[in-house]
A and B are shown apart, each in its own frame.
Chain A
Amino acid sequence: MSWSIQIENLGKAYNAGASRRLSNSFAESMMQGVRSALRGGIDGWESFWALKDISLEVAEGEILGIMGRNGAGKSTLLKILSRITLPTEGIFRYRGRLASLLEIGTGFHGQLTGRENVFLNGSILGLTRAEIRGKFDEIVAFAGVESFLDTPVKYYSSGMYMRLAFAVAAHLETDILLVDEVLAVGDAEFHRKCLGRMDEVSRSGRSVVVVSHSSSTIKSLCSRAVLLDQGKLTKVGDVDAVIGEYMNVNKVGRCEREIDESEQMGGRERMRIKRVRLLNGFKERFSVFWKQDIQIAVEIEFMQSFNEVAVGCGIRTVEGLHVFTVHHDDGGDHPLWNVEAGRYLFRFTLRNNLRPGTYQVHIGADQQHLMIKHLGAVENILLEVMDHAQDGPTPLASQTGLVNGSSIWEKPQRI
């Protein structure tokens, strides 16, 4: 099979001094020039390699997953491949037409109507007017917004807005599609639609490159994956192997975890998870006995006030298989919470019915207003369920699976 993207020794350096600053005025850059001259010329500039020595091939019809923590260089790589920014060194080639979907609804304008935005967004994504006209009815039907076509999208509910935006993107028919985390937004239904559509795309012989830090997304979608860590390609190959390696990067740690900036998922301007603590961790580790309930305390800092917030916790296997997710309001004991800007401590107990093994704990907060909006989350905290109980029987080797099954049997009767 022939290649569709070919990457050779790609690298990208940012000037940590000059370009990562927010305020970038002329006087400031003069000052920096002077300072770096004093420090010994151009070498004095701190350059930061966001990517280094990346060589990779994407085959035709392949869905390649790029994994890695925040700041590992995933988005930079995607930006280079999308031609938004140039590499500092190296070269890459691609065959045919390429479209990138780094965000749902790029270029949507609130003042414009649904119809106008379909054309605007479509041509920004690289569709010709004729193509959009040809697919217009299909796009509108897919989004289910027929009766609001001539309403400015700023009056749309966020659900309608997302559906319309995705509908346009879903009808892109380029040879290569680059997708970044767009799957992380929206509800489960939307997520499923996205996955289904990407599967169709690759089955028609086109290539897809997906960036995600969700191992479940990668697992359900990709045929091959690569792992980026600190700008370098640390693993290429089979999806399970890459996910395993990704999980190994952060082994079961101490029972108290400070969550640093790079681990925050979702909008850092909305909330940050500061600390996660397993209150009953064994020997100060993130481990519990078999059948021992899991008591967790989470410290979340909200950057602004939100209403109707649900805080939740999910468990996945290290391979990314979703075991369950619970939210604080599931039992009906608590309503959705309204939070102010500031820090909150949330404590909860998970009934532990997990079989021994290592799991990923996912903790996050959603806003359940109109549609589910993810405020922020932390993934990839590893939890070990030990293979013996605190006191009492150990788990039977004959029982397998993810959860402890139980059943009641009657004495057999000969019939």
Chain B
Amino acid sequence: MSQVITEISSRSRTSPGELLKETWAYRELFGTFVERDLRVRYRQTFLGIAWVLLYPLLFSGIFSVVFGKLFGDVAAIPKGNDRILFFLAALVPWQCFSGGISNAATSLEANSGLLGKIYFPRILVPASVLCSTVIDFAVGWIFFNVAAMGWGYWTWKFIIFTPVLLMLQLVAALGAGLVLAALNAQYRDTRYVVPFLIQMGFFVTPILYPLKMIPSRWLWAAWINPMAGVIETYRALLAGTYIPYKLLAMNTGVAVALAIFGVCFFQRRVQRIIDIL
């Protein structure tokens, strides 16, 4: 008999190495989950995947008109075509970030039927939900790049920075998503808190206004907010100003810490999740 013997007891804890190994062993299921999310999301919609584009576009339009016109000067928002790009550079990544977190937060609840019937590493559920938002980002981002090229603001640096910044925001979203998903499994209150948190994040993050509008005594809020660095960097690339490396480094540290905390928090609770879900 050469088969592997698996031993399970009440004290079974998965070490980080085992978790990685197991998640890797289930990579096909991970892929299947992502695929399912994508296939299902725009089934039976008339416009289909076009919604991915319409969303940030409509918002950018609204913000350009309403916010730009009203506070354009006060908030130091650029004018004309720059203004649409200014908002797109923030809204496309933010949409992916916030959408990913809010979907991840309710993912265990949404898949409770599956979780109660079959075993697989539970982390696959929120992680795959996050991963499927990357496709939304990709579609929106291609459009953004084309627009930036058309209006002459594009630089080859986008090609280098996009994967790095996308990684940064995904790591941060994973951390937050895992914590919220585990909490929501136990306390359904989470579901009502999440939209509020996201709305708050939307205003705290320099989306509607540039980073330089933040008074210096509030700057720490940007230091601990990975999305501040992501958006600010994209905007710096557009405007051709210098890249806020210090902010990015700080943000990366926060994102990694958040992700490690998220994974630990999730793994600690995950064993009990099915009994309370």
Q: A86-B10, A86-B12, A86-B271 are in contact. Are A124 and B40 (CB under 8 A)?
A: no
Interface residues of A in 79-124 (CB under 8 A from B): 79-80, 82-98, 100, 102-103, 106-107, 109, 111-112, 116, 119-120, 123-124
| Given A84-B115, A106-B114, A109-B36, A25:B189 Cβ within 8 A | yes
Q: Smallest CB–CB gap between B20 and chain A, Å?
A: 18
Q: How far is the CB of A154 from chain B (nearest CB, A)?
A: 10
CB of A120 within 8 A of CB of B32, answer: yes
- B interface vs A, CB < 8 Å? 1, 3-10, 12, 28-29, 32, 35-36, 39-40, 43-44, 113-120, 186-189, 271-272, 274-276
Q: Is the CB of B8 within 8 A of A124?
A: no
Closest CB in chain B relative to A132 CB, distance in Å: 9
> Are B32 and A123 interface neighbours, CB within 8 A?
yes
Q: Is the CB of A95 within 8 A of B275?
A: no
Q: A29-B187, A92-B8, A95-B4 are in contact. Are A14 and B32 (CB under 8 A)?
A: no
Residues of B within 8 A of A124 (CB): 29, 32, 114, 118, 120
Q: What residues on A are CB-neighbors of B39 within 8 Å?
A: 111-112, 116
A19 to chain B, nearest CB (A): 5
Question: Complex Cα distance A106/B276, Å?
Answer: 20
Tell me the minimal C-beta distance from B108 to chain A in angstroms: 13
- Chain A: which residue is nearest B183 at the CB level? A26
List the A side residues contacting B186 at CB < 8 Å.
24, 29
**Given A25-B188, A26-B189; A82-B118 close (CB under 8 Å):** yes
Interchain CB contact under 8 A, B5 and A95: yes
CB <8 Å contact, A111 and B117: no
Contact indicator B187/A90 (Cβ below 8 Å): no
The reply to whether A91 and B189 form a contact with Cβ atoms under 8 Å apart is: no
Name the residue of chain B whose CB is nearest to the CB of A106.
Answer: B117
**Interchain CB contact under 8 A, B1 and A95:** yes
A94-B5, A100-B119 known; 7 other A-B pairs, CB under 8 Å? A25-B189, A26-B187, A84-B274, A87-B8, A103-B117, A107-B114, A124-B120
**Complex formed: what's the CA distance from A102 to B186 in Å?**
24
With A90-B10, A112-B40 in contact, do A82 and B5 touch (Cβ < 8 Å)?
A: no
Which A residues are closer than 8 A to B by beta carbons? 2, 14, 18-19, 23-27, 29, 79-80, 82-98, 100, 102-103, 106-107, 109, 111-112, 116, 119-120, 123-125, 128-129, 152, 175
Residue in chain A with minimal CB distance to B3? A96
- Alpha-carbon distance between A22 and B168 when the two chains are bound, in angstroms: 38
Q: Which 9 A-B pairs have the closest CB atoms?
A: A96-B3, A83-B119, A91-B9, A26-B187, A123-B32, A111-B43, A106-B117, A102-B117, A93-B7
Can you give 17 contacting A-B residue pairs, CB < 8 Å? A14-B275, A26-B187, A29-B186, A82-B118, A84-B274, A85-B271, A86-B272, A88-B10, A91-B10, A93-B7, A97-B3, A100-B118, A102-B118, A109-B36, A123-B28, A124-B29, A125-B118
Is B10 within 8 A of A87, CB to CB? Answer: yes
How distant is B259 from chain A, measured CB to nearest CB, in Å? 25
Q: A14-B275, A85-B275 are in contact. Are A175 and B119 (CB under 8 A)?
A: no
B10 contacts across to A, CB distance below 8 A: 86-91
Write the chain B residue with the least CB distance to A26: B187
**Residues of the A chain whose Cβ atoms lie less than 8 Å from the Cβ of B275:** 14, 19, 85
Closest A residue to B40 using CB positions = A111
Q: How far is the CA of A32 from the CA of B274 in the complex (A)?
A: 20
Cβ–Cβ < 8 Å partners of A26 in chain B: 187, 189
* Given known A24-B186, A106-B117, A107-B114, contact A2–B32 (CB-CB < 8 A): no
Asked whether A107 lies within 8 Å of B3 as measured between CB atoms, the reply is no
Write out the residue numbers on chain B whose beta carbons fall within 8 Å of the beta carbon of A92.
Answer: 7-9
Q: Are A96 and B118 in contact (CB under 8 A)?
A: no
Name, among A14, A23, A106, the residue most crowded by chain B CB atoms within 10 Å (CB to CB).
Answer: A106
Q: How far, in angstroms, from A107 to B110 measured CA to CA in the complex?
A: 12
Shortest CB-to-CB span from B117 to chain A, Å, is 5
* A346 CB to nearest B CB, Å: 33
- Tell me, in angstroms, the Cα distance from A75 to B118 when the chains sit together: 13
